[in-house]
């Protein structure tokens, strides 16, 4: 492994990670146009210069750091420009490999040098992703493990300053993959990784990644309470296309931890954990539509507070989700609301396709289940005539949802608007320009 002396300057406290080295000139870059961090489209580092730099000997990150320090000492590139430079550098490396050129430079040594030089002179523009990429580059360059951890600590610090759930989630992922303990952050500002996971899960409750990470962390820590917290939140929603697998894996994780607790003679904690799993597996409302024949029948569930779960909007802010779309040879449509609000749920059926000549829909059954898996479970089955469809109402009492989730616009929002499923708010009439306004056309007078 290379020593830190072969790699470059030592880390300094704060987002300005690396102390500036002695001045060293290099001609590997063409003279670029100075730019401010607000510049959006000016190419500061010419791509041809990067292609030339691929053939410049770079045996250590110190070589790259020295050259790029000379550049960043006089150029205020924005974070976006840094990202473009890194992307173009990788592209230049790729072209060199494709053309069969010998490249004495080391790809990740150059990346490490670029980022360290940028952070040295423009630390006030530091963003979490910079420290994440720096950590990966140091690792590829066989740098000290402590320096990799320090970079990720600063990534964690910046992600929390920005209150950015995506950045926090990315940092937690990198830390857990490397098994870097249970805390992150610079000295004096450490935060528990479990607290970061909880914060992300609360900000973006519709995402499963933080909860799955939390389950893995709970298994490592043998933390029954943290395991139950993550599993309960995970099972409080339906997961389109993967719901059965999610429920099986969550249950298996709980059972595995319970067995480990029993081996440690903690029978009481194991029993509490398993009891909490049973409660989490209960679903407030389940609606299943099945049929025989070649058809496509769609469920539309009007929830009591106004949202509608359907094929176009498979998840609502009130906890309902279409987790299975039935059609053709897969005659099974499934809606679940594991944690729902009390009230009347109106179930409608829409016939999208029905092969009346060869194989029409028949034996259409609608099953509703209240409090599935609980002591007060109620099941009903309705026979449906596809030629005479009528809404069916189900009343939920004892629903366990307390708060609505944040609204996330569906990817097909524009399509739904064009079809009239979502009403577009009419534009307000434009106000006339005031007299003598610079927007007024003088020729119109």
Q: Are residues 269 and 289 in the same domain?
A: no
Q: Dump strand ranges (E) for 93-137.
A: none
Among residues 143, 163, 182, the one where a domain terminates is: 143
Domain residue limits at 325: 283-418
Please enumerate in sequence order all residues whose Cβ is within 8 A of that of 145, keeping only pairs 6 or more positions apart, or say none: none
Q: Which uninterrupted H or E stretch holds 112?
A: helix 107-121
Q: Is residue 165 part of a domain?
A: no
- Residue 70 forms part of a structural domain: yes
Residue 141, SS3 per DSSP: coil
**Are the beta carbons of 379 and 368 closer than 8 angstroms?**
yes
Check pLDDT > 50 for residue 85: yes
8 A C-beta contact, residue 185 and residue 193 = no
Pair 15, 108 in one domain? yes
What is the model's pTM? 0.77
Asked if 224 and 322 sit in the same domain, the reply is no
- Of 237, 265, 281, the position where a domain reaches its end is 281
Range with the poorest average pLDDT among 179-193, 203-217, 333-347, 403-417: 403-417
Q: pLDDT tens digit string along 111-146?
A: 999 999 999 999 999 999 999 999 999 998 888 999
For residue 181, is it within any domain?
no
Residue 268 has pLDDT above 80, yes or no: yes
In 232-269, which positions are buried (b, 16+ CB within 10 angstroms) versus exposed (e)? bbbbbbbbeeebeebbeebbebbeebbeebeeeebeeb
- Residue 276 scores a pLDDT above 80: yes
With cut-offs at 50, 70 and 90, classify the pLDDT of residue 59.
low
- Domain total for the chain? 3
Same domain, 291 and 413: yes
Q: Does residue 302 share a domain with residue 250?
A: no
pLDDT in tens, 194-218: 999 999 999 999 999 999 999 999 9
Query: Does residue 444 lie in a domain region?
Result: no
Task: Give the tokens for residue 202.
Answer: 């609360």
In a shared domain, residues 98 and 8 = yes
Decide if pLDDT at 3 tops 50.
no
- Both 345 and 261 in one domain: the answer is no
Has residue 356 got a pLDDT over 80?
A: yes
Average pLDDT over residues 382-411: 89
Residues 271 and 295 in one domain: no
Residue 399 in any domain: the answer is yes
* Structural domain contains residue 73: yes
Looking at 281, 310, 332, which one is the last position of a domain? 281
The CA radius of gyration of the chain, in Å to the nearest whole number, is 29
Residues 288 and 414 in one domain: yes
In angstroms, the CA 369 to CA 346 distance is 14
pLDDT at res. 88:
85
270 and 335, same domain (yes or no): no
Q: Do residue 223 and residue 241 come from a single domain? A: yes
Give the chain's end-to-end CA distance (angstroms, integer).
Answer: 78
DSSP designation for 405: P
Report yes or no: 299 and 332 within 8 Å, Cβ to Cβ: no
| Cα separation values, 202 from 78, 170, 296, 368, Å | 31, 16, 37, 30
| One domain for residues 260 and 290 | no
Confidence of residue 89 (pLDDT cuts 50, 70, 90): confident
Instruction: State residue 415's pLDDT score.
Output: 55
Q: How far is CA 100 from CA 39, 50, 74, 94, 270, in A?
A: 36, 17, 34, 10, 60
Residue 188 lies inside a defined structural domain of this protein: no
Mean pLDDT of 273-294: 96
- Three-class secondary structure assignment of 306-358: CCEECCCCCECCCCCEEEECCECCECEEEEEECCCCCEEEEEEEEEEEECCCC
Instruction: Give Cα separations from 85 to 15, 49, 134 (angstroms).
Output: 20, 11, 14
Residue recorded with tokens 């300057």: 9
Highest mean pLDDT among 105-119, 317-331, 338-352: 338-352
pLDDT value of position 406: 86
Cβ(287)–Cβ(303) under 8 Å? no
Domain-located, residue 33: yes
Q: Tell me which residue of 47, 119, 122, 127 sits closest to 90, measured CA to CA.
A: 47
């Amino acid at each position: 492994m290379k020593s830190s002396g072969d790699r470059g300057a030592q880390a300094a406290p704060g987002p300005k990670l690396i102390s500036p080295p002695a001045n060293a000139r290099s001609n590997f870059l063409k003279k670029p146009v100075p730019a401010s961090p607000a510049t959006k489209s000016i190419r500061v580092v010419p791509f041809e210069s990067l292609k030339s730099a691929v053939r410049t000997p770079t045996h250590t990150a110190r070589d790259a750091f020295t050259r790029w320090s000379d550049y960043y000492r006089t150029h205020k590139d924005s974070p976006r420009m840094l990202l473009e430079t890194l992307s173009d550098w990788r592209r230049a490396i790729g072209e060199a490999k494709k053309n069969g050129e010998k490249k004495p430079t080391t790809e990740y040594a150059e990346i490490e040098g670029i980022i360290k030089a940028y952070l040295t002179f423009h630390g006030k523009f530091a963003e979490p992703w910079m420290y994440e990429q720096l950590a990966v580059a140091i690792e590829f360059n066989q740098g000290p493990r402590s320096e990799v951890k320090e970079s990720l600590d600063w990534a964690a610090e910046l992600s929390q300053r920005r209150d950015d759930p995506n950045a926090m989630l990315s940092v937690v992922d990198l830390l857990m993959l490397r098994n870097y303990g249970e805390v992150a952050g610079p000295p004096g500002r450490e935060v528990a990784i479990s607290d970061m996971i909880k914060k992300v899960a609360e900000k973006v409750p519709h995402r499963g990644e933080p909860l799955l990470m939390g389950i893995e962390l709970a298994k490592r820590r043998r933390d029954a309470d943290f395991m139950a917290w993550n599993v309960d939140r995970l099972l409080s929603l339906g997961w389109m296309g993967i719901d059965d697998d999610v429920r099986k894996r969550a249950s298996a994780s709980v059972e595995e931890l319970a067995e480990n607790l029993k081996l440690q003679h903690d029978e009481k904690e194991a029993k509490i954990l398993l009891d909490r799993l049973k409660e989490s597996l209960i679903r407030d409302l389940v609606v299943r539509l099945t049929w025989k024949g070649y058809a496509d029948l769609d469920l539309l569930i009007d929830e009591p507070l106004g949202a509608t779960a359907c094929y176009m909007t498979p998840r609502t802010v009130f906890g309902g989700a279409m987790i299975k779309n039935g059609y053709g040879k897969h005659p099974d449509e499934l809606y679940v609301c594991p944690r729902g609000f009390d009230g009347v749920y109106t179930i409608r059926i829409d016939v999208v396709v029905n092969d009346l000549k060869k194989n029409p829909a028949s034996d259409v059954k609608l099953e509703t289940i209240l409090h599935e898996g609980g002591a007060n479970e109620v099941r009903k089955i309705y026979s449906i005539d596809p030629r005479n469809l009528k809404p069916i109402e189900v009343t939920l009492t004892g629903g366990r949802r307390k708060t609505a989730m944040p609204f996330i616009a569906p990817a097909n929002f524009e399509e739904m608007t064009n079809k009239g499923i979502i009403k577009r708010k009419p534009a307000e009439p434009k106000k006339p320009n005031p007299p003598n306004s610079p927007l007024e056309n003088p020729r119109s007078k």
